[in-house]
Every structure is written in C-alpha cells, then in structure tokens.
C-alpha cells in the first residue's frame, strides 16, 4: 500500500513540475497578441539615446504603439515577455538599416510588455523612453496594470495607469491572435494548422487584413475620392515590400495621391501626399519633390521598401512639423478600415496654446461635423504610373484650404 501511495505521489509531483516548467516558459500563454492603447497623449516625452536626453520634446500618443506583440522566448519575473512587431506586417523590425540609406532610416527599437515583480503588475515600457531624467528604475514603466499575480496577460483585469507627465487612468485592450477555427478569423479567412489566420485576398469583392482578418477592404475603396475637387487617392500596389502588392500600416492600407486627379495644390508638381493610419487616426503626410522624383525608381527600391516595412508613427516623428504631417483625421473607431466616413482637418498653428494635434481646420464642406471628406470610388482601381507618382522626402507645406 505504501509503495502504491509513493508511486502515485511521485506521479502527481512529476505532473505538477511538468506543468510549472511549461507555465514558466510561457507555453500556456498566447504567443502573439494585439494590443490597443487608448489615445492618451504625453506632450513632452523624455527620450534617451546613448544615455543622453534628446534635446527636443516629442508628442507621444500611446496609440502609436498599437499593434502586434509576440513572445520572443525570454522571461521576466516568471512571465513571458512580449515584443512589439512591425506595423507593416506583424513581423520583427529589421535590425540593420539599408545599405543604401538616402532617407536616413534608423533601426527601430521595439517596445515591450512584461511583468515586474517590483510593482506586481504587467507593464508597457521602452528602453529609450523614461518618465523623466530622474527615472532610473530597472522597470521604467510607461503604462502598468492594476496589482496582479496572473501569468496570462489576457487575464489582466481593470484599468491601467498611464504616464502623461503625471499618472492618469486608462484602458488597454489585449486580444490573442491565435485561432482555433474559422470563426476566430471572423469568417474572413481560414485558421491554418499553426493556429493563425490566412485571410482571403479576393472574396466577393473584398480583401481582408489584420491578425484576425478583421479589417475589410472593399475593391471599390482601393481608390477614394475627395469631396471638394474629386481628387483621388489609391492604395500603393507596387510589390516591392512583399505584402501581396498592398502596403499597410497598423493593419490599414496606405493611400497616396494620384497626381493630376484634381488637387490644385499638388497637381503640376512632383510632390507626394500619403494617407497613413497611425494607430488611432489617419495622418496626411506631405513629401517634397526632391525625393518624390526618385522614391519609386528601381535605384531606390531597397530604401523605399525598408521605410515602408519599418514605419512607426512615433519613431518616424510623423506628427512633427519636420515629419511632414499636414492633415489629421478624427479618431477612428474599430470599423474605420479606410479614410471614408471620417472627418479630416488641416493642421494650422501648433504649440502650447493648441491641442496635441494643433489648431484643426475642417476639410468638410460647410464645416459639417460627421460629414466625412472621402467616398469610395465606383472603380476598383486606378491605373497608376510610377512616373507620375513618386514619393517621400522631407518638407511640410501649407496645402491651402480644403483639398488633397
């Protein structure tokens, strides 16, 4: 009897040890998650490079860090660490700049989400961002959950704290990207054997994007039309970046202005204007002709693809004046898949007197709130010419009143 008891006890202990070891490795937690931060704003971010504080203030919208985070195999205080992935396709950021680097691209250091025993909380942090120059913590959180001991980050309950110069309260949405059946792919794709979604690319006039195929791009919205001048913008479909001829940022398609389509501010130039989603809003980003003439040439293929694949709204400083952002939309809801149905604004004066996105001058006709500016085209696509559509550079320019 004693022998049987000891045998069963050993089996029970072995099972507990096996489960504990696998739990400590993160085997039972979701490997890939999508994180959505609220658009909380910190207007004077403390950025540190090489132990030196950057001599300029950056506007940080936490939604700039929305997107896919994946386990990298490391652990911190007994829980798995989640590392930020590219906004282009959810894979790892490149760790070296392009060999030919005319756009002065820098390597993006990803943010991380990990558990810190010191605070008994899950935290969002970045090695180059501190709450202040006096923040020398070994766990320099920017957002942190309520006190918890859970191993699975999906089980974190309640509000989070967000640093915005002072501690504020916020919400963080976390969803596992793994699937069990096609319903987990919103019936817009198939759940493969690896537990991830393969989204349909041309199903009844729509293409589906996102880890759960939750973003719907209708064919007639591949080109959109502005209300004032009937000017048009189309998704970028050059297969230079390995994304099935569709360039994305934050699981939304990137649009560029079709030169010659009607804007009195852009036609007759080699300038370029993009509409790029950046976590919670669409930004209209202007680039001058000095780079617009060359970006989509074969010579610039590598740096162009690199810039698109490693785009990050915060680290590329797209909101700053030098970043070229001239236009901003209202915040977009969960179903804001394209710029259609969203109010847009020209950014006027900037500074302490004004809101975090400057003085906003409505694009909408009659200044109507909720009117939106863009509509989907009746055509599925527009014939784009590389010669007539070339792109990014530095600049920033007054686009006048309403218009593309």
At 134-193, the pLDDT tens digits run: 888 889 999 999 999 999 999 999 999 999 999 999 999 999 999 999 999 999 999 999
Most confident of 174-183, 362-371, 389-398: 174-183
Nearest to 77 by CA among 26, 116, 23: 116
What does the block give as tokens for 368?
A: 């109507």
C-alpha span between 178 and 32 (Å, rounded): 7
Cα diameter, the chain: 93
Three-state DSSP state, 296: coil
Containing 393, the helix (H) or strand (E) segment is none
C-alpha span between 250 and 66 (Å, rounded): 7
C-alpha span between 253 and 251 (Å, rounded): 7
* Total residue count of the chain as it appears in this document: 404
- Taking 50 as the threshold, does the pLDDT of residue 43 lie above it? yes
Q: Would residue 372 be called left, alpha or beta, if left means φ above 0 and alpha means ψ between -120 and 50 degrees?
A: left
What does the block give as tokens for 246?
A: 């569709």
C-alpha span between 101 and 303 (Å, rounded): 6
**Contact predicate 314/87, CB 8 Å:** no
C-alpha span between 353 and 375 (Å, rounded): 33
What percentage of the chain has pLDDT greater than the value 90?
62
Strand partners, 53: 48
pLDDT per residue as tens digits for the range 308-345: 999 999 999 887 756 688 999 999 987 789 999 999 99
Helix-strand-coil split of the chain, %, nearest 5: 15, 30, 55
Average model confidence (pLDDT) across the chain: 85
């Amino acid at each position: 009897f004693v022998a049987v008891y000891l045998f069963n006890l050993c089996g029970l202990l072995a099972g507990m040890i096996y489960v504990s070891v696998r739990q400590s490795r993160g085997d039972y937690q979701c490997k890939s998650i999508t994180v959505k931060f609220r658009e909380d704003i910190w207007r004077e971010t403390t950025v540190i490079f090489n132990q030196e504080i950057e001599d300029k203030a950056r506007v940080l919208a936490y939604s700039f860090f929305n997107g896919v985070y994946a386990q990298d195999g490391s652990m911190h205080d007994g829980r798995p660490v989640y590392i930020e992935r590219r906004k282009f396709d959810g894979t790892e950021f490149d760790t070296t700049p392009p060999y030919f680097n005319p756009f002065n691209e820098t390597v993006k250091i990803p943010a991380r989400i990990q558990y810190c025993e010191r605070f008994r909380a899950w935290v969002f942090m970045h090695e180059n961002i501190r709450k202040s120059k006096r923040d020398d913590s070994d766990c320099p959180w920017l957002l942190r959950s309520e006190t918890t001991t859970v191993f699975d980050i999906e089980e974190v309950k309640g509000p989070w704290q967000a640093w915005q110069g002072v501690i504020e309260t916020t919400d963080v949405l976390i969803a596992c990207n793994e699937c069990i059946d096609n319903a987990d792919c919103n019936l817009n794709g198939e759940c493969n054997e690896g537990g991830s979604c393969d989204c349909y690319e041309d199903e009844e006039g729509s293409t589906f994007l996102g880890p759960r195929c939750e973003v719907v791009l209708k064919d007639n919205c591949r080109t959109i039309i502005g209300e004032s001048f009937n000017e048009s913008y189309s998704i970028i479909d050059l297969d230079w970046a390995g994304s099935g001829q569709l360039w994305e940022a934050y699981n939304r398609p990137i649009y560029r202005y079709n030169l010659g389509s009607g804007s009195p501010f852009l036609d007759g130039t080699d300038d370029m204007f993009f509409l790029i989603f950046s976590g919670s809003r669409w930004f209209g980003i202007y680039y001058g002709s000095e780079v617009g003439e060359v970006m989509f040439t074969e010579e610039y293929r590598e740096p162009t693809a690199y810039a698109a694949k490693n785009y990050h709204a915060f680290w590329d400083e797209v909101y700053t004046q030098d970043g070229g952002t001239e236009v901003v939309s209202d915040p977009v809801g969960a179903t804001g898949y394209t710029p259609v149905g969203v109010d847009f604004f020209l950014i006027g004066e900037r500074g302490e007197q004004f809101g975090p996105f400057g003085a906003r001058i409505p694009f909408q006709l009659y200044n109507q709130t909720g009117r939106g500016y863009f509509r989907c085209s009746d055509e599925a696509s527009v014939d784009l010419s590389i010669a007539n559509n070339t792109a990014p550079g530095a600049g920033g320019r007054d686009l006048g009143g309403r218009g593309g």
